[in-house]
Structure 1
Amino acid sequence: MSEKISPETVSVLSSTMLIPLWAKAVEQGRAQPLLRDDEAVRMLDKIDYDFSKFAKVKASQVGCCGRAKLLDDMTRHFIAEHPDAVVVQIGAGLDARYERLGRPRITAWYDLDLPEVIEVRRMLLPESDNHYLGASMFDEAWMNTVAAHGKPVLLVIEGVLMYFEEAQVQDFFKQVARRLPHAQLAFDTIPKAYIGQSKRHDALGKMDKPPEFRWAISGTDDIRRLISGVEIIEEAGLSSVCKPRYPWLLRLVYATAWGRRKLDMRLMRIQVPSS
C-alpha cells in the first residue's frame, strides 16, 4: 500500500484502534521498551493522522503496552502448556500479537474482528500463516470453525469486554462454555471506579464522544459469579509492570494496597467449564 489512509477516508479507524497502535509504536523509541513491536511502527507510518494530540498521554501510553505485555505473557504460557493450541484474538483491531510472539507454530491462529475492521487490518497487516475472521464475537459460526480443530483453545480479548454490559459478557462466557467447552480466555478488566468515567480518561477523553465503560469487576469473585465452575489460572495487576513508568501521583496510589485493590486494572487467564 503506497498511499496513507486516514480516519477521514476510512471511518473505521477510530481512536480506540489508533491509541493502542500509537502507544506501542512510541514505546519502540525507549531504551528498554515493555514489548517489541516493529509492526506497530510500520503501520503507524501508513496512517495519515495527527498523533501529536496524544503526546502528553503518559498513563495510557504505558498502560496499553503493559496490558499487551501481560496478555502476551499469558498467551506464551498457554502455548507452552499446549503446543498444538488454537488461539483466537478477539477484537484484534490493529494489534500484531501473532507477529510479536514470533508467529508461533501452533495448530491455528485466528484474528477476529468485525468485517469492516478486518478489511482495514488486511490493508495494514496482511495475513501470513494466521487467518482473519470477519465476524461479531457473539457469532457462533467462528466458534464452530475453532471447535472443528479439536484442540485446546485460548481466546485473547484485549480492550473489548469493558464496553459491553455485564449481561452481555456473561452471555458470551456461557456461549463459549457451550460451544468451546474447557476453552481458556485471557482478558483485561477495569475496576468499578472507572464506570462512566471515560471522558476523564487521559486518552479516550480526547475523543468528542468517547465510548462508555460498562462492565467492571471488584475481584475474581465477580468472575465466578458470572459463570459457575470457572477456574482462575493466572491473574495480574496492570501496575505490576507499569508502576515505575506511571506519573508520580499514580505511582503513589498503586504503592498502597487500597489503590491496587480499588483502582488497578486486572488481567486474568481463566478456563470455562463445559455447559
Structure 2
Amino acid sequence: MEKVRFTEEKATMLATLYGRALDARSDRPVLGDKAADEAVKQIDYDFGSLGVDGQLGLTVALRAKPMDDWAAEFLREHPDATVVQLGCGMDSRVYRLDPPSSVRWFDVDYPEVVDLRGRIYPARDGYRTIGTSVTDFGWIDEIPSDKPGLVIAEGLTMYLRPSEGEELLRRLIARFPQGGEMVFDTFSRLGIKLQKLNPVVRKANATLYWGIDEISELERLGLTLVSKLDSTDYATPEVKDRLSGSLRAQLWVAGLIPAFKKMGRILRFRF
C-alpha cells in the first residue's frame, strides 16, 4: 500500500480517482476505468473523507467521458500526434484510450504526484511523465513540436490564476506549429464565487481562481471553438435515470437559468 499525504488541490485528484473507481465498480459503468479501481486499492488513504459517493462518482465519470471521446476522435485522425495532459493527477486516461505507440503521450503534474503514478501505473511505449508545476513553463521545451498536438486538462483551469492560465495556453499553442486541439473544462466566475459549495473543494481546503464566462475570452488567445457541453448536458438521456431525484431536480433548475447552466463547461478547441 502506498501512503499519500496530499493537501489542497493535490488532494482533489484523489477524489476524482475515487469517483472513477466507484463508477468502475457499478453495474452500468460510464467509463469502466478498472485501472482507477486498481489504483485505489493500492493507495493507503482515507478515501471516505473526501465526500465522494456513488452519485458524485457518476458525475466524475460523466465529465470525463466526453473528454475521452473527443481525444479518441482526434487520435483516430492523427495516430502520430503528441498528447500533453496537464495536471494529470492520477488520471488513467492513457490506459483507457490505449493509443498506439506512434502517439507520444506526456502526463504533467507536480513531482510528488508523478512519483506516485510511477509506483502505481505500469510503463508503456510512447508514454512518459514530467514532474513539475504546469506554470513553470520550462517543461514545455521538452515536448516534441514536429506533429499535431492534443492538449487535455481535466479539473485544472479553475485552479490556475487567470494570467498564468492564459500564458500557459498561449505557449502551448505556439509549441505546435502544425496545429492541433485542446480539450478542457472550465468554471464560470459564478462557479468560482460558489466554490465552497463544492464538497470536494471544501474538504480538500483548496482554492479556485480562474473563472471564464465567455468563449471569446479563450478565442482571443488563438483558439477556435469546435464543441462545448454545459454542465447540464453532461448526462446523456440513457444515464439520467441513474441520477438521484435531487440531482435531476438541480440539473433541471440549472438548465432554466443561464448563469447556472454555464457554471461548468467542457470545451473542445482547434488551434
1:24·1:64 contact (CA, 8 Å) conserved in 2?
Answer: yes
1:203 corresponds to which letter in structure 2?
V
Q: Displacement of 1:11 after TM fit?
A: 7.0
1:79 corresponds to which letter in structure 2?
L
The yes-or-no answer on 1:230 pairing with 2:223 is yes
2:85·2:106 contact (CA, 8 Å) conserved in 1?
Answer: yes
Deviations along 1:138-166, one digit per CA (max 9) or x if unpaired, are 34443333234x11100111111101121
1:36 is paired with a residue whose SS is coil
Aligned residues: 263
Structure 2 equivalent of residue 143 of structure 1: 140
Moved more, 170-179 or 151-160: 170-179
Change (3 A) 1:140 1:147: farther
TM-score between the two structures when normalised by the length of structure 1: 0.85
Spell out the pairing of 1:1-275 with structure 2 (5 A cutoff).
4-8=1-5, 14-54=10-50, 57=53, 60-129=56-125, 130-148=127-145, 150-181=146-177, 182-207=179-204, 210-225=205-220, 227=221, 229-242=222-235, 244=240, 245-255=242-252, 257-259=255-257, 262-264=260-262, 265-272=264-271
Distance 2:201 2:140 in 1: 31
Q: Displacement of 1:263 after TM fit?
A: 3.7
Moved more, 15-24 or 248-257: 248-257
Distance 1:48 1:13 in 2: 18
Runs (5+) with no aligned partner, structure 2: none
Distance 1:177 1:52 in 2: 39
1:200 corresponds to which letter in structure 2?
L
User: Which structure is higher in helix share?
Assistant: 2
1:28 corresponds to which letter in structure 2?
A
1:45 is paired with a residue whose SS is helix
Distance 1:212 1:200 in 2: 12
2:195 corresponds to which letter in structure 1?
S
Identity of paired residues, percent?
27
Deviations along 1:64-87, one digit per CA (max 9) or x if unpaired, are 211111111110111122121111
1:66·1:238 contact (CA, 8 Å) conserved in 2?
Answer: no
1:238·1:266 contact (CA, 8 Å) conserved in 2?
Answer: yes
Q: Displacement of 1:91 after TM fit?
A: 0.9
